Structure 1
Amino acid sequence: MAERVLVCEDDEHVRELLAYRLETDGYDVVAIDDGEDCWERLEGADELPDGLVLDLMLPGLDGFGILSRLRDHDDLEELPVVMVTGRGLERDVVRGFELGADDYVTKPFSPSEVSARLGRLVR
């Protein structure tokens, strides 16, 4: 059975690119564009995804907010998270890791690299 991955990215082109690469690599992908929707899907999920690919700058609730909530939630604290973002300043990367990101990839990126990094975490 394929690993399930939730991709939360507000840029349509990037979201579609990630979803295509991950699906090509055998993942079952749900791709969404809003931070509040992401949180609601995770918090209320009967079945959790095996991994989350998360942008930082999102409408509704930003990626740092989602990550912080995940790590404070008993059922979600172990969910593997790969941050994929245009925010590559050292303070952003450090904050991402301090909040519990498992990996951090800055844009521009290789979709194959994101898939490989995710695979290391979920397989």
Structure 2
Amino acid sequence: MDKIKVNQMMFYGYHGLFAEENKLGQRFNVDVELMGDFRKAGQTDRMEDSIDYGKVYEVTKGIMEGKAHNLLESLAESIAQSMFESFSLLDVISVYIDKPGPPIPGYYQSVGVEVTRKRSDYEA
């Protein structure tokens, strides 16, 4: 299976359980790994045969800078589902969301959530 990786996309959002997070917002980093058969793109050199990295960013941005979520898990799930809706060539996706300096007791560089989903997870 082929992979396209878009790493360290940065967004400012208002996600979290605490009122301060929803009011002040904070930075989030997102990595996505998109898996499928992209062999045709390698042979034809045509964007139509692959997944547009710019559109991956725009789909992710719409969620990360959109409606507030309490949990990183919910954000990651929304991104995964939206990617399947946007890209017919996508078979499997991993989404990692990193939250630097979380407002929880202790000293952390960051906390994060990673989900991996298959297209069949969304088919009825």
TM class by smaller structure: under 0.3
When you count helix as a share of all residues, which structure comes out higher? 1
TM-score, normalised relative to structure 2: 0.27
Compare CA radii of gyration and give the structure with the larger one.
2
